A and B are shown apart, each in its own frame.
Chain A
Amino acid sequence: MTEFPEHEYIIQTEGLTKKYGFKTVLRNIDLSLKRGDFLSLFGPNGAGKTTLIQTLCSLTTPTSGKVFIAGFHVRHDRESLRKVIGVISHNTFLYNNLSAFENLKFYGRMYDVPRLHQKIQEITELVGLREYINDHVCTYSRGMQQRLSVARAMIHDPLILFLDEPFTGLDQHGAEDFKKILMGCHNEGKTIIMTSHDLILGLELCSQAAILRSGTLVYREEMSKRVQKDFRRTYFQLTGEKGLS
């Protein structure tokens, strides 16, 4: 099931609210993305970016509001929903004592990936880790681990990728490689939501930008040269962070 109609919203939330106890972390979020969009989500620490990603990928249930991912309800159709999404965070979700091959084989089986061995070869080729496929993950550098994490998230050909601050801990080379892979994914038509602290990198990749502040979506724009130019100023204005400037 990799078909999804072009004209409909592949990610749709209405009044999404999340509370932990009495503390409101997400407030009335209305978000809609079409297939193939790449949304970069920015915001200060504690704004609720991670919680939003967790809610969208069904790790957490919203307190109120509707969330539909690829037409599936985030609470009631969890299993179907999880088949079409991939999640990459600063945590790699990889088993350190297993080799890359074994990790991918495990996740491949969990997602019922057909022709698994062939798929593993293809996907490791894509992320440039084919030579290291039998090495244990603990021997990988951070950049390599993050690339393998992408392979893990993509092994079942998801429609949507969620990335939660994936550039954390990556050096220049690692970040560059990762960026190329992401651009490749976007070109393939995958819908992507990414949270990031890096304004430049995030803006480079995205087709839409949004800012989250104290649980509310305070900004949402299609990407253009003008938006990119003014973004830094807009960001600091809206998030009220007073820097030294």
Chain B
Amino acid sequence: MTLKRKSAAIITLELATCVMMLTALYAIFIYAPIEKTMGLVQKIFYIHVPSAFLAFFAFFITFVASILYLYKRENKWDIMAFCSAEIGVIFCSIVLITGPIWAKPIWNAWWTWDPRLTTTLILWFIYAAYLILRGSAEENRRSNFSAVFGIIGFVNVPITFLAVRLWRTIHPVVITPQGINISYPMKLTLILTLMAFCLLFFTLLVTRIRLERMRLDVEKIRALSQDKKIYRKE
């Protein structure tokens, strides 16, 4: 049962996340210089890149947890896979929203079909499908199906990336994302933001898992009490 108060570790994690996020925000808006060619909008890069990294990381966790679930049949891996996928979809959405916002003023195009952005879009679809599958499947098959799909989806990502890249090298896009001139303060800001987002990810994951465990506990209690009503002899 997880109906107990938050442990000290979790509270520390949450505090650390707050501190780091505030530091990162400061770094983004005050510390980091404004980029020469792109201007103020370039600062979205500090949100875009860490989100992308964490989306992939979240789906990697789903992949590993899915394998562990099928191998060990312990419920905790299924919970971890699911919660990580949910958070991954959130970060993935952030990538897909910040991308166009950044692209439009710079290259005058909302969307570029470059390999990375396109693969991220497909990745988003795959894990959105994961969540829908989980919602539609029967209760006793849900975990198995999600685990299998979690594995298949993740294995598919590098293949999709290769395919899109091959497509793009044969028909190169007119607009290609140029590298940005990165100075030291920008590097530092990026690292700070990355660390802040990592902490944010773990806080969200831990909280979501706790929430899911609590939900399952409520269901268990409900089922047990119904049991007692039917099975009067106990």
Contact = CB atoms under 8 A, between A and B. Distances in A.
Contact, chains A and B (beta carbon distance below 8 A): yes
A23 B224 CA distance: 8
B223 A23 contact: yes
A22 B230 contact: no
A171 B230 CA distance: 34
A21 interface: yes
Interface string A30-57: 0000000000000000000000000000
Contact of B219 (A22, A24, A27): A22
Contacts of B223: 21-24
At the interface, is chain B mostly helix, strand, loop or mixed?
Answer: helix
Nearest to A240: B232
Interface in A166-222: 214-216
Contact of A21 (B139, B227, B230): B139
Contacts of B227: 23-24
Contacts of A27: 231
Interface residues of B, number: 12
Contacts of A215: 231
B156 to A, nearest CB: 29
Nearest to B223: A22
Contacts of A23: 223, 226-227
Contacts of A22: 216, 219-220, 222-224
Interface string B129-145: 00000000001100000
Contact of A214 (B140, B224, B230): B230
Contacts of B226: 23
Residue of A24, A27, A215 with most partner-chain B CB within 10 A:
A24
15 contacts: A20-B139, A20-B140, A21-B139, A21-B140, A21-B219, A22-B216, A22-B220, A22-B224, A23-B223, A23-B226, A23-B227, A24-B223, A27-B231, A214-B231, A215-B231
Interface of A: 20-24, 27, 214-216
Interface of B: 139-140, 216, 219-220, 222-224, 226-227, 230-231
Given A21-B219, A24-B227, A216-B231, 15 more contacts: A20-B139, A20-B140, A21-B223, A22-B216, A22-B219, A22-B220, A22-B222, A22-B224, A23-B223, A23-B227, A24-B223, A27-B231, A214-B230, A214-B231, A215-B231
